[in-house]
Structures are given as C-alpha cells and as structure tokens.
Chain A
C-alpha cells in the first residue's frame, strides 16, 4: 500500500469510533476484505497481514518487538506485515507499558497468538485441500502441501480460517528455528518519524475541536476559589473558561495508584497559542492546603528519622555489629526526579452523550478507561481509548490525570477538546521519583561482606497513591539479600504531600546507587580491587535462594561483571585525573554490570566511557535493544549530573529545561553495550541499565580523585 493510503488508513482509524475497519480502499483494485483471526491479527484477501501492537510505544520499541514475536510464530515475511497500534481492548491481557514488563509478560501470549492463527490457517487449508493437517506445513505466508506441490496463501485462507475456533494450546516453534526474532528490524514508524509525518497525539486535530490549557493550582492539593478572566478574554481566539475541581470528580487520587487531574481553571480557545496566552493572563485565587512541603526541610526530616523506629523488611542473622574492622556507616541522599518526556502531556477527547472517545499517549490504556468511566460515570464498554505513539513517557504517562480533565471538558462543551500542557505545566505537575535518605552500616570479613544494614527513609509513594501493601521503598528480594549472612533492610516512612509516582525503575534507581556505592567503599576499606570484591560477593554457587519463591542465578551476575571488566579493560593503568568505577544491578529479571571511565580536571567531570554488559535473556530485536540500553544509560547519566526537583512551600520550583537540565550531546560518553548470549525468555530493558550509571560514575570519581560522592545529583 502506498504511503498516502497508509496514512489515509491511519487517519480513518483515528476518526472512526469503535467500529472495526473492514474494507480498505486500494487504488485500482476491487475492495479487499479483512478477517480477524485473533484480536491482534487480521489478514486481508490480498495477503496483507495486519498485526496490532498490543502495548503502547513511547520509544521503547514494543510496537516493533511484540508484532515480531507474533510474525515469527505466524510464519510470515516481515515485509508483508503492516503494524498498527491496538486500541484499548479488554480482551487483551497486560495491555500496559511499565515496569519493563511489555515483552517479559507478553512473550508467551504473543507467541501463542501467532501460533493459534497459524494453526487456524493450517486447519482451513487441510479442509480445502482435503489433506490431513499434519502433512501440511507453512512457508512464509503460505500453507504448502509438499506431496502435491500445491499451496494456498494466507490471504486466500483468511476468510475460512477466521471462522474456526481459536485453539488453546497451539504448537510453538522451537526457539532454535527462529528466523525473525533475534534479527535487527527497523522501528515500524521510522520512515514516518524521519519525514515528520508520524502522528503523536499532540498533532491531532478533529473537526470542531477546541484547544484547552488549564491553569492548575500550583499546589497539587489546592483548589480554585474564584477567577478573573477580563484580561484573558481580550486574547483573540479565547472562547470560554471552565472551573475543574477534582473534589467534584472523585478526589485527588481517583483509583488506587491513579492520580486524578489537578484542580484549576481551563481556558478554551480556537488555537493552542490562544489557549496558552489566555491561561497565562487568567487571575485565579487559590485555596492552598495547610501542609506545604519544602524539599530541603523534608530531607532534613528524613535524616532525623534515621533514628526513628523502622519497619523491618528483611532480617537474616544479626546485622548489628560492634567494632568490626573495615566497617562503614554512611548516609546517602537522593533527590526527587521528574520525567519530562519530550512530548508534553496532552490528550484529545470527544464525549457525546454517554460515549467517550479518547486519543492519548497513555502507557496504561486499561487504567485510562477505568478512570474515564469513573469521572464520567459511564460504563467502560462505552469508551474507546486510541493509543497514540508517545513522545517519551518514562513512567509519567502511566497515570490518567491528563485524561480525566480532558473528557470532562469535552462533555462540558459538547465538542472535541484537546488539552495541551505547557512544558512548565509538565514539570510542575509531575509525579516524582521519591526522594530518600538511606543509611548503610556494613562490614567485611575475610574479603566478603559479613554484615549489611540498609535503612531507607522516604515519604512513601504507596501511601501517596493510596495503594495497598507495604509502603517500604526497598524490597525483601533486593541485592545483596541472600549474599550476606547478617542482613537487615528496614524502612521509615515520613508523611508528606509531594506528588510521587513511578519513574524509570523507581526505587530501584535509588537503591542501586546506595548499594553499589557502599560496596565500593567496603572494597576499598578492605584493600581489595572492586571487581574482585564483587566477584567474591557473588561467589561460586550458581544459584542463591534469595526468597522461598526467588532463586537467583548468581552465575549470570558473575558473568556480566567479568564481561564488563574485560571490555572496559579494568585494571589497565590510566593517567592521573582519570578513574574507573563499577556498579552492578539486578532488576526485573535482568543482570547488568556497568563500568564508567571518567576524567576530573579543575573540578570538572567528564564521563569518557560507559561499558555495559547485560543479560536479559533472548534479545528480540537487537537494534532496538541497543537503542533502549543506550537511552537508559543516557537517562541515568542525566539524572546523576542534573536531576533534582526542588519544592518550596508545596510548590515545585523548576519549570523547564533551563532549570531541570538534561544531557546534550557533549555530555555523552562512548557507550559500549554488550548483550550476553542467552536463549532464556526475553526480559524488558527499559529500566535495568539506568540505575547502575550513577554509582559507576561516582565510584570512578573516587578512583580518579579520592573524593566520595554520596548525594545526587553529583557535585564536585
């Protein structure tokens, strides 16, 4: 299909509600028909295979990787596949992107989807050719009868196959027969992106649509009392105003783990610019809540709470130690971090009667549907969520706060509404990675860690988001649990109202900094080379039973450490002012070792090189995987160098890229990514490579200068 028609098709999908697109116009040919063989697979009579990407893509590549897995089992040429983004579909499981789980949770489901459709095509062919099914095979889009040299294309078979029942447990390919998985495939949207034709939801324009910019209360818990729009009304294009109070629509947290919109006054206009200017010119009187946090004061309270009574998360042996040699007692401080996806938050909605259609760069379509149903008080089956390719997300788009206000505005004005956030709105109304203060008291004996007590103090995300379960921002399975005979993890919760949410790796991004930093200090205390010290700690046993239900493959951790050390030429001499540092992590099923090489001259830090060895099981799309890992490393570096949200009087102080900086190209080191061969099932790569960057860099700073950095962002 030509590019033009491809786009027309996309547009058609974007503006029709609910109804499935059955006929696709192809110039100069009769209408082709299309048949669904699975919620994620359609085949048309012309032989085109349409595979729906189940999970949202925000740059992590699942719009390519998940359909590849289906195509592999379906046995079709990748070139014959057209990929579309699936809408929210309650028939699908795990239709969210978060926690590095898209590939990990859906690998088997995607294989089964492809394999069931293939089995249905085989059954239809057996019927048409009148041959036993086991004597037929598939070859890249055809069912072939080797005996009679006959073949039928999937396009010819689709209609009949689609009428057959979906088999429960179809045969899966042998992993060693994979032809597509494990090969590098370009992102399915690459050409559209490079030509500026990729549609993000911020680019949508519906007929009769109004643009909305909301002037939100600077404090997320505040409410508008009154407003004066006399100046705002003078802006050409400003149409109307509407007060949005979350207290009228389910409150600040609308569902467990799902913040509602921040209250404010919406300005509706005929263009983005008019709406933005109108919002700026509004005068609003706010009712501010009594509790007004200050992030510096909060860090101070966290520090004081290090002596408070703590919730025990895990206890092995006796972590209290007297005056053991080579012991450390250190505090670490980690800031609040923002997401700042490149595409600011936005959403388009069209609500009419008791039906709603939404276009949003959401990471979490099922939660979006649930939240919309709740604020509009309509059944979920009346809701369509069109999942748009997101310009980055990093955890921020997991929530539905940017969707719930938009649907209310559309209902209010009876027209489609696009809500646009300015960058300032985006930074000030984030859900931040929790700040924490952590204390590690630990000791070594005979070159290994004998005692480890890690205490985490923070204000808990779990409580802020009204989720059930322990608020502890440290898990009982986290490294080095299982590797140290006397170990205590405990947690102190200090209540506050700074908005919190998930971030790339969330607590893992903090805890790895603490663990890898403290282990480096212990190694130096004991006079042992850090890589050797890590390998001693990991030990020689292949498996370590960390928890009853969690057997940790220590050999895979040891292996990535050795590979990283070798590739980084660990131990070879460096000129003065340069140093190397190692850090290691295990998160969401992947093992990572990173080594940073830095130069410090005149108190200026330059990260020269980062070597990353990673074991994430089978790599579905190596080119996409390298992009993901490089991106995670850059994100980790940016957070280490610049990331910090400051709150004064309950109000976020940073507002844009000038005061919440991100790396630019001159900050970027040489990055060497090496995937360890594995045919274990694939795991997600979004989060694992990020966390080890900061401690690898700070440990390298120590090697270069003798100076320890125990607080982020790095200050020399």
Chain B
C-alpha cells in the first residue's frame, strides 16, 4: 500500500509499485487533467507537482511519491484562479488544449523558483511541447502570470 497526499487529501494505492504516477492519477484517482503525450519524459504533458516541484508523472513511479505531496492541475486551484490559469485565460493560450495542463503546472512551478523569468530563462527552462504551436502566447502568458503573481503574493 502506497500512501501520499494528493491535492490536499490522503490517497492510498494498492497496485503495482512500479506503476507510473501518471496512470495512477488518470485511471485510479480519476484525475484526467494530467495528460499522456509520450510516456518517456519528452513532452511534459504529464507535468504535476511533487512537493511543489515540477515532475513528469509518466516517468515517476508511484512508490517514489510515498509520503510526498502531489498536486495536479485539478488541485492547483479550485476555480482556475491561480495566476497562471488567469494569465492563460486572458491570453487565450489554448488551441486543442491537450498540452495545457502540463504547461500550466510547469509554469506555476517555475514561477515559484523564478518569480520574474526573462525570455532567456523561459527558453532554457520551459521545455514543454505544444504540438499546436501556442508558444507565442505561452511566452506572453508566462510574463503576465509573473505580473499577476507579484500582485497577489499570497496566492498559492
């Protein structure tokens, strides 16, 4: 039995230890906002937070999160009010939308570390793939989210 905190609740998983966190979230916990794009750590559509840090759920085994705190897009905010989500809305980032929970989770973690990223920081650190090519608006929305976060220092 593997126990961890999932979006502020205790969660128990009794299946195979080596199952990737991604499939536990999607198939067992019913949290389908975390997406499967490649399964090999390339695309980052599956980005979640483990103890506040961005992690690729497809290459994170469930046993490695024992006792840790996992946050998915569903737990980032209850009403899409996180500054990154607000910025994503204002900027109309999404096209098909499939990669966007991963994008949002990756950016939310990046802004925790780096509250005002430069374009070079973004180029280096934001490595999620968007197959629809929403990158110009992702860049804009990251800057906007940084601005919104500075205005709301308490927003988690």
Chain A residues at the B interface, C-beta cutoff of 8 Å: 57-61, 186-187, 189-200, 202-203, 205, 211, 236-237, 271-273, 276, 340-344, 389-393, 422-423, 623-624, 627-628, 630-635, 638, 656-658, 662-666, 668, 670-671
The minimal Cβ–Cβ distance linking B53 to chain A, given in whole angstroms, is: 18
Q: Which of A58, A186, A627 has the most CB of B within 10 A?
A: A627
Given contacts A196-B73, A199-B32, contact A60 B98 (CB under 8 A): no
User: Which residues of chain A come closer than 8 Å to B137, judged between CB atoms?
Assistant: 627, 630
Residue among A186, A237, A389, A631 with most chain B CB within 10 A: A631
The residue from A197, A342, A634, A657 contacting B135, defined by CB atoms under 8 A apart: A634
Do B96 and A58 touch across chains, with their CB atoms under 8 A apart?
yes
B28 touches A61 (CB 8 A): no
Beta-carbon contact of B33 and A662 below 8 Å: no
A665: chain B residues within 8 A (beta carbon)? 122-123, 126-128, 135, 138-139
Option from A200, A273, A393, A662 in Cβ contact (under 8 Å) with B23: A273
- Cα distance, A59 to B132, chains bound together (Å): 7
With beta carbons under 8 angstroms apart, the residue of B31, B98, B129 that contacts A662 is B129
B-side contacts of A211, CB under 8 Å = 27
Report the bound CA distance from A190 to B86 in whole Å.
11
CB atoms of A422 and B99 under 8 A apart: no
For residue A392, which residues in chain B have a CB less than 8 angstroms away from its CB? 95-96, 98, 131-132
Among B27, B74, B124, residue most surrounded by chain A Cβ atoms (within 10 Å): B27
Contact residue among A343, A663, A670 (Cβ-Cβ distance under 8 Å from B96): A343
> What chain A residues lie within 8 Å of B79 (beta carbons)?
195
Contacts of B28 in A (CB 8 A): 271
Could you give 22 example pairs across A and B, Cβ below 8 Å?
Answer: A59-B132, A187-B97, A194-B85, A194-B88, A195-B73, A195-B85, A200-B98, A273-B27, A342-B37, A389-B97, A391-B98, A392-B95, A392-B131, A423-B40, A630-B136, A631-B134, A656-B38, A656-B42, A664-B127, A665-B123, A665-B138, A666-B123
User: What separation, in Å, do the CA atoms of A507 and B136 have in the docked complex?
Assistant: 27
Chain B residues numbered 2-37 whose CB sits less than 8 Å from any CB in chain A:
15-16, 19-20, 23, 26-28, 30-37
Q: How far is the CA of A57 from the CA of B15 in the complex (A)?
A: 36
Given known contacts A633-B133, A656-B38, what 15 new A-B pairs fall within 8 Å (CB)? Answer: A194-B85, A194-B94, A199-B32, A236-B15, A237-B15, A342-B43, A342-B98, A342-B99, A343-B37, A343-B98, A391-B96, A634-B132, A662-B131, A665-B135, A666-B123
- Verify if B104 is at the interface (C-beta below 8 Å from A): yes
Known: A193-B100, A196-B73, A671-B136. A631 touches B95 (CB 8 A): yes
B36 neighbours in A (Cβ, 8 Å): 202, 272, 344
| Chain A CB within 10 Å, residue with most, of B74, B101, B132 | B132
Report how far A658 CA is from B41 CA in the complex, Å: 10
Contacts of B97 in A (CB 8 A): 59, 187, 189-190, 192-193, 198, 389, 391
Q: Which residues of B are found within 8 Å of A663, using beta-carbon distances? A: 133, 135
Residues on B with C-beta less than 8 A from A389 are: 96-97
Distance (whole angstroms) from the CB of B45 to the closest CB of chain A: 6
Q: Size class of B's contact patch?
A: 35 or more
B96 pairs with A59, CB closer than 8 A? yes
Return the 10 tightest CB-CB contacts between A and B, nearest first.
A196-B33, A634-B133, A59-B96, A391-B98, A196-B73, A193-B97, A203-B32, A666-B123, A59-B95, A657-B42
Q: Is B130 an interface residue (CB 8 A)?
A: yes
- CB-CB under 8 A for A658 and B42, given A193-B100, A194-B80: yes
Question: What residues on B are CB-neighbors of A273 within 8 Å?
Answer: 16, 19-20, 23, 27
Q: Is B52's CB within 8 Å of the partner chain A? A: no
Which residue of A has the minimal Cβ distance to B79? Answer: A195
Question: Is there an interface contact between B134 and A657, defined as CB atoms closer than 8 Å?
Answer: no
Q: Does B89 contact A (CB under 8 A)?
A: yes
B115: CB under 8 A from chain A?
no
